[in-house]
Each structure stands twice: as structure tokens, then as C-alpha cells.
Amino acid sequence: MPSLLTSSSPHIHGANSVPRLMYTVLAALLPALAAYCWFFGPGILVHLGLAYGTALACEALMLRLRGKPLGLFLSDGSCLVSASLLCFAIPSLAPWWLTVIGISFAIVVAKHLYGGLGHNPFNPAMIGYALLLISFPREMTSWLSPTAHSALNLNFSDTVSLIFGTGISAVDAVTMASPLDHMRTELGREHVLSAIVNNRELFGLLGGAGWEWINAMALLGGVFLLWRKIIHWHIPVATLVALLLIAGFFHLLDPARYSDPLLHLFSGATMLGAFFIATDPVSAATTNRGRLYYGAGIGIIIYVVRTWGGYPDGVAFAVLLMNMAAPTLDYFTQPRVFGHGKKD
Amino acid sequence: MSKRLFRFNGGLKLADFKTGSTGQPIVQAPIPPQLILPLQQHIGEPAEACVKPGDTVTRGQEIARARGAISASIHASSSGVVHAIEKRQVSHPSGLLAPCVVIDTDGLDRPQQAPVIIGDAYLQQTPDAVRKLVRAGGIVGMGGAGFPTAVKLKPGPEHGVDLLVLNGAECEPYISCDDMLMRERAPAIIAGARVMMHALGARHAVIAVEDNKPQSMQIMAQAIRDSGAENIELRGIPAIYPAGGEKQLIKVLTGIEIPAQALPINAGIVCHNVATAEAVYRVIYQGEGAVSRVVTLTGNVSQELNLDVRYGTPVEFLLRTYGIDPALVAAITIGGPMMGYSLHAIDAPVSKTTNCIIVKQQGAALPFSNHGGTRPCIRCGNCADVCPVNLLPQQLYWHAQSRDFDKVQDFHLFDCIECGCCDYVCPSHLPLVQYYRFAKTEIWAQEREKEKSDLARQRHEFRQFRLEREKAERAARHKQKAAALQAPSAEEAELAKKKAAIAAALERVKARKAQADTKPRNVDNLSPQQRQLIEEVDARRKQNRQQQKPGPEQKNSDTE
């Protein structure tokens, strides 16, 4: 009598997998990446290469130390997503070690020391960013405006040598604050908002020059993720609506001091944050109602940090703060179970 | 009833793989040389064999009788001689052996001599008499659970039955036996449904069919019109798995959510499978007990088929008959791919709940996908999106994994219907349903353990109490004797003394029981004054009691 293989139901499974999710997210980042390269040159590609190498090496090392199967876990693509997101937050001509430090810290400390994929309470990329911003504020805030960048007329090898610190340091002369940073500083000097955003080198139609396009492309990628059902609509919609409402409210109060809500939506890392960072499932709230509160919290904190805080952009801090609130949100927003009363 | 349909949370749209097996009519499977009829093919008590080896049996003859309120009779599914009553492989998820009546068939398929055919006369019978016929016919729910049908044809003591739901949803992939039954035996299903309505006193009935079966729907609608029944209605429902789940189906049809601990009957609704209605028809109109059913044979087979199979036919016999080499079979699932179970032995027989046999040959990619290793949960929440019960499967997994069985119950583990939707969509390929089954069985085991230890503690405490009582009684007897020696008094006083002693002793025992640490006060060394005091008190108490009814005193001494 041949013996039969037995298994526990269900005996069929969908085609979905963690690598498929991660690689779809990476694909959805491509439009934003293209826009970034268009405005800020190919520097981000060098940083991406560095970041991927570092991330895979750190991941492999940690998996080995923790005795986990290398092939299965290394192929999931999660460390590449973290690496990509961090690279968007690093100035394109920043020195190479910035990326290496940021990614190493993100993968080793923020991810694996907390138990690896699925167990990290905080978004690793944002932990890496926060570390860099606090430790190396000058390097992290030295951006080139798109116009300055095209004026430099750098080719790819110039870019590489700048990043690895062997080239000319003429760039330092032309770096300046990012649009949001600039706006905050100028507002602090009692300048009127309309005059600030009239600076065509830094501001475009909707938001920061160049940044508005990166945001638009991130929005496009985000819509793609929604369409592919990789992310739920709750977090990005709540984030953007909350940011729109709070920015709109203060803008109506005093248009000279508080900028147009559209400027907030299309500057800095807003769209990237709403669709790619806040939606990291591991560290976000998981109930649908919880996701709405979580997203709204992020939108509000982004605005608070940008308007009254000491940092140029608030996305990372907003996400990290709401990461802390996620378990509590989940606990208090459990859905009503079939056949149970409202109180249950 | 309104035409509106309702939705339950989540669910899945699954590829149905049914076209192959619905391409040709139902085929009558041949009689196997040996029939293996398990004594338990239903939920409840196993039936009790009422034949012995060597007996000659005819088709439809009762060979095992229902025992207890929830049970079902077993009938010979063809004629022959009883070979043995012994333990054999049965089709059950456990893979354990179970007692079966084994019949060597004679190939003549001789029917019973005088079958009792009721026909339309059932209308003159009481609902109770109809239920008895159904019970004697050995009918059980044929959708997969196998609950004895007669029990589910009884309206509750307080609840009348408003609505009979006939479940023809057949929401799992691959299974098409109900679909084919509706196409070929629609009038029988309707007639069976009317018998059920009579037994239940149901006002109306709804037959629910998933809208991916247009042919069935058309034929059933015609059959309802032909029957002239105005209180039977056909409803097409969206093909979303698990729409055929009892509570999900009721929600879709009526919008009513049957509460977690309640049964549909509490809301005046009873749900039966369409195949069960057809089996009831055969009992009433053909005088034939449960002898066969339609089974879908599908998967890696040369020809996907729906077969009319006699109960007790070994799966292996079916495979050989329809051109499948058992040596090449890698795995077999009984039931659908979402909730069915793996067959452990290929010689296990088809039973009353076997609706589908899915064969996987060695090296084949389908029908079952076995994907690679599992990864950690990334909390994506896809599982919660598809859960038809609106649970948080991911939280359940988390707590089941860490064996936190209190937390897992807080997250309503026992509301999980094990439909497998969460497992199907999980991108980390976690065997979620397995974790829930594990947690459920662990909790049941713990509860049994607790019951056992509670019982042991109760026994121990009672023994302690008994020893105390005996000691106190002995002491009382000594005291009584001593008192008798000291001062022989009137019978009345002696009785009062005895009572006082016993009362005091019992007080001590009570105090001891209530507060195990404190030792009972010693009653032996009381001073004469104290004794006097006690006697006075007791005399008063006795007087008081006598003024009341004489009963309580008697009762008191009994309970103490």
C-alpha cells in the first residue's frame, strides 16, 4: 500500500509572497528615482549601490550570527527597500560614509537587534535617517538646488569622485538648504512667505523646485501600490488629508506666516513618506481604524515639526513617533467580530 | 423576504476548477467486491452494529442502529454477506482505525423485500413521525459536517422555524457534486425540501446557489415553478468563498448575524444542504435509507467525474475503476482544497460526508501548491482583510505561537471557522490555520486537565471532611457515654446532649473546612459551666426549631 502525503488544510495557496511585495515596492519607487536623478543628478545611484551592498552585507552577517537560513531571508528584498528609502533622504553628493553608517545602523541595530524582519518596532530606514541627521547635520542638510546642480555640469565620474571625497570641493560653495529648510529659516527671520517662495531657484509651482516632481512621481508609485493591493489606502489617505487640513487651517489663519497646504504636500518627503515609509507594515498599525489614526498622527506631526520644530522635514520623526503608538492603536481599534455585539 | 443580499467581511474569489467535472452527467459507480461501512460517519454517538459476521444482508437493510439522541443508523449499501465487524482504515483526518461492518458483496444488489414508501402521504404524518423516518433512514448533513439530519429537523422548544435555507452554494474549488445533483435531480431536491419544511413547520424556504452555476439556477428555478410551491425561492449569491459557511450564508441572505455562541435556530432559521434534501426525498418517496451519494472525483485524473458512489466503496477501488494507478498517487484530499483533509490510507471507504476526492499524482504541480519556506509575519494585515469572521488572524498567530492561550481567546480564537482564507493570502506562507487548531486543542486539553484536577481536589477535600466528621462523631459518642455514666438523666435531656455534641462537632468541621489552618477547638475539655451554657443554648435552639416546621432540622442534618 503506497503511503500518502498528508498536510493540513488549506491545501492551496495564493501566489503572494514577501519577496513579491518587496520587489513591487522597489519597482514603484522607480518613477520617483528617475525624477530624483533628473533634478539632482546620478549621485543617488552611487548611494543606492553603496547602500545595497552595505545592506546585503549587514543582513548576511546578522542572519549568520542569528543562525537564520541565509538564502531564504536574504532574498526577501526587505533590506533593499530600507536602503532605497534612506537614499532618498541623503543629499545626492553627500560623502559615501554617510550612507554606509546610516544603512549599517538601520540593518544591524534597528532591524536585527530587535529580532529581524517582522519584529522591529521602528522603521529601520527612518532610524538610520534620524541617526544621520542628528550626528551629521551639516552633511545631511547640504543640498544643491536643481539649477545649481545643472550649472555644475557634473558627469558620472565627477559625481563618483565627489562622493568618495577625491574630487574638487567646489560643490561646498554652492550647496544650500533644502526648500523646506530655507523656508523655515527665512520665516524665522521675519520674512514674508510670498517673498520666500518667489525664489525660483528653490520653489516651483506647487512645492520645492524638483521636489514637487519627485513627490508627484512618488504619488504615482503609491497609486500603483494601491492598485496592486500592496498597501492599504488608509495610511496614505489619512496622512495626506490630515496634513492638508492642518496646513489649510493655519494658512487660512495667516497666509503670510503659514504656507499653502499644497506646498506641504509637494515638498520634502511627504508623498514618499505617506505611500512608502508610513505604510511599512511591520512598524505601522494593522487594524483599518488604527491605520487611519496612525496616518492622521503622522500628517499632523509632519506639519508640527516643519512649522515649529528644529528640523527641516518631519516625516522621519512623525513616522518614528507613531511607530511607538502603533501597538496601542491596534489594541484599541480591534474590529467587531462576526456575531459579537458592539462592546465585545 | 427582501431581494437584497448582504455581505460578510472579506472572503476570496478563487479559481473554481469545476468545468472538467461538470462536463458530463453523473456516472453510476460499480459495486465493489467489498464494502467497508464505518459505524461512525456522523457527528455524535457511533451506531451499534445489529448484524453479525455470516449474516446475509440486502441493499438498504439497517446494519447498525442509531444509539442516543445524536446518532445515525447505517445501512447496507448493497447485498451480500457480512464478512466481519472489525477496525479498518476510515476516511478521517486522524488516520486512526475505526470499527466498521465489512460486507462481501454478491453482485446481485438485491433490494429490501418490503420498503416503506410514504410518498406525498407524509403530509398526513406528524412532524415527529417524519423525523423518525429520517432518523431511521440514517440521513446526515451531506455538506461535510455530517450532523444527524433528524435532530436538525426539530424546531427548538421556544423557537418556531421561519426560514429553511437550502445550501447549494458549494463555494469550495473543485467540488461540483451539489451542482450536478441540482442539474439532474432538481425535482427530488424540491420535494425533499418540502418534507423538511413540513417537519420543521417552516413558513418559507430559500435555496441559495452561487451565481457561477447558471445552469443549476435555471433548472432549479424551473423545478420550483413545476412543483407549484409558492413559499420556496431561489436566490443567486455572489461566488465569494466561504459564502457556503452556514452563518456566512445566513448573513448574505438575510442580513442576520447569528451571535457567536448561538445557533441559527435561535433566530428561527435552519440550514440544510441540497444533497441532504435529496437524501430525505429518497427516504420518503423511495423508501431507501442512506446508501449512496454523489462524489466528485477530480484533480490529476484521466477524466474528472461526478460519481454516484455506494457508501463503503474503497477509494482505491474507485481510482482503479477510473483508470488511476494507486501507485502513482502522491496525496488525496477528501473535501475541498480549502477545508478538506488529507486521506491517510488509500483503502479507506467513501462515507456519508465524502463529497469530493481530489487526487494529486506524483510530480504534478496542481492541484495542491506547496510553496517554499515560511518567513516571519510582516504584519501586512492581508489576513484580516479576508477573514469572514472579522478576526485579527495575525494577532491570533502571534499569541498562539507564544502559547499565550488567554490572549488568544481574548482575540476570539473560538470564533474562527478554519476556512483558511488567511492562510491562503499570507505572503509569509505561515500555516496559520494549523496554529489555530493547535491553540484550540491545547486549550481543550488544558480544560480537561483542569476538570480532572478539580475533581481530584474535590475528592481529597471530601475525604478530609469525612475523616474530620468521623473523628467528631467518635468524640461525641465518648462524651455521651461519659455523660451517661456521670449523670443519667431523662431521655429528652440525653437527646439534647447528643445533638449538642453533634452540633458542636459539625460546627468544628465547618470551621475547619472554611479555614483549614485553624484547628478546631477542643470540645472534650469543656468546663461544666461551659457545657451547661451549650446545653441551654441548644435547648433554646431546639425549642425554636420545633416552633418552626419540623422539616428544616431533618434537612440540615442531611446536608451537613
Q: Do the beta carbons of residue A312 and residue A141 sit within 8 Å?
A: yes
- Tell me, what's the pLDDT at A171? 60
Nearest by CB to B259, from A13, A330, A339: name it. A339
Query: Which of B380, B408, B409 is the best substitution to test chain A (most A C-beta atoms within 10 A)?
Result: B380
Are the Cβ atoms of B260 and A17 closer than 8 angstroms? no
Q: Do the beta carbons of residue B99 and residue B86 sit within 8 Å?
A: yes
Residue by residue, DSSP assigns A37-90 as: HHHHTTHHHHHHHHHHHHHHHHHHHHHHHTT--HHHHHTT-HHHHHHHHHHHTS
Q: Which residues in B lie closer than 8 A to residue A338 (C-beta atoms)?
A: 8-9, 247, 251, 257, 260, 388-390, 415
Nearest by CB to B390, from A116, A284, A335: name it. A335
Across B52-203, the runs of DSSP E, i.e. the strands, are 56-57, 62-65, 74-75, 80-89, 97-105, 163-168
Q: Do the beta carbons of residue B33 and residue B313 sit within 8 Å?
A: no
Q: Does A116 touch chain B (CB under 8 A)?
A: yes
Instruction: Say how many C-beta atoms besides its own lie within 10 A of residue B166's C-beta.
Output: 29
Instruction: Say how many C-beta atoms besides its own lie within 10 A of residue A95's C-beta.
Output: 16
Distance from CA of A288 to the nearest CA of B (A): 9
Distance from CA of B311 to the nearest CA of A (A): 22
Nearest chain B residue to A75 by CA: give it.
B375
Q: Which residues in A lie closer than 8 A to residue B428 (C-beta atoms)?
A: 17-18, 118
ipTM, interface predicted TM-score of the complex: 0.89
Are the Cβ atoms of A286 and B394 closer than 8 angstroms? yes
Q: Which helix (H) or strand (E) holds A112?
A: none
Nearest by CB to A13, from B381, B384, B429: name it. B429
Q: Which residues in A lie closer than 8 A to residue B427 (C-beta atoms)?
A: 16-18, 20-21
Are the Cβ atoms of A14 and B425 closer than 8 angstroms? yes
Distance from CA of A255 to the nearest CA of B (A): 40
- Tell me, what's the pLDDT at B531? 77
> In sequence order, what are the beta bridge partners of B28?
B308
Per domain, the residue ranges of chain B are 27-334, 382-430, 446-559
Q: Is the pTM of this model over 0.90?
A: no
Q: Does A337 touch chain B (CB under 8 A)?
A: yes
Q: Which residues in B lie closer than 8 A to residue A18 (C-beta atoms)?
A: 375, 378, 427-428
- Tell me, what's the pLDDT at A80? 96
Q: Using the CB atoms, write b or e for B213-250: b if 16+ within 10 Å.
A: beebbebbbebbeebebeebbbbbbebbbbbbbbbbbb
Q: Which residues in A lie closer than 8 A to residue B367 (C-beta atoms)?
A: 11-12
Tell the burial category of A202 from Cβ atoms under 10 Å away from its Cβ (0-12, 13-18, 19+): buried
Q: Which residues in B lie closer than 8 A to residue A1 (C-beta atoms)?
A: 345-347
Statement: residue A103 has pLDDT above 70: yes
Nearest by CB to A117, from B8, B337, B378: name it. B378
Statement: residue A342 has pLDDT above 70: no
Distance from CA of A91 to the nearest CA of B (A): 30
> Which positions ≥6 away from B110 have C-beta within 8 Å?
B58, B59, B79
Are the Cβ atoms of A13 and B423 closer than 8 angstroms? yes
Q: pLDDT tens digits, chain B, 560 residues: what are they?
A: 557 899 999 999 999 899 889 999 999 999 999 999 999 999 899 999 999 999 999 999 999 999 888 999 999 999 999 999 999 999 888 888 999 999 999 988 998 887 788 888 888 989 999 999 999 999 999 987 889 999 999 887 777 888 999 999 999 999 999 999 999 999 999 999 999 999 999 989 999 999 999 999 999 999 999 998 889 999 999 999 999 999 999 999 999 999 988 889 888 999 999 999 999 999 999 988 899 999 999 999 988 999 999 999 999 999 999 989 999 999 999 999 999 999 999 999 999 999 999 999 988 877 777 666 889 999 999 999 999 999 999 999 999 999 999 999 989 999 999 999 999 999 999 999 999 999 999 999 998 998 899 999 999 999 999 999 999 999 999 988 888 877 656 677 778 888 888 888 888 888 777 766 544 455 566 777 777 877 888 888 888 877 765 444 444 444 43
AA letter at A196 = I
Q: In what order do the strands lie in the sheet with B34-38?
A: B34-38, B97-105, B80-89, B56-57
Query: Which of A4, A7, A119, A231 is the best substitution to test chain B (most B C-beta atoms within 10 A)?
Result: A4
Q: Which residues in A lie closer than 8 A to residue B382 (C-beta atoms)?
A: 16
Measured CA to CA, the distance from residue A34 to residue A284 in angstroms comes to: 27
- Greatest alpha-carbon span in chain A: 89
Q: Which helix (H) or strand (E) holds B218?
A: helix B214-227
Are the Cβ atoms of A287 and B343 closer than 8 angstroms? no
Q: How far apart are the first and last CA of chain A?
A: 51
Are the Cβ atoms of B423 and A330 closer than 8 angstroms? no
CATH top-level class of B27-334? alpha beta
pLDDT tens readout for residues A177-221: 778 888 878 787 777 777 777 777 778 777 778 889 999 999 999
Q: Do the beta carbons of residue B63 and residue B82 sit within 8 Å?
A: yes
Residue B392, C-alpha cell as written in the block: 485579527
Q: Which residues in B lie closer than 8 A to residue A7 (C-beta atoms)?
A: 331, 342, 368, 370
Mean pLDDT computed over A272-276: 96
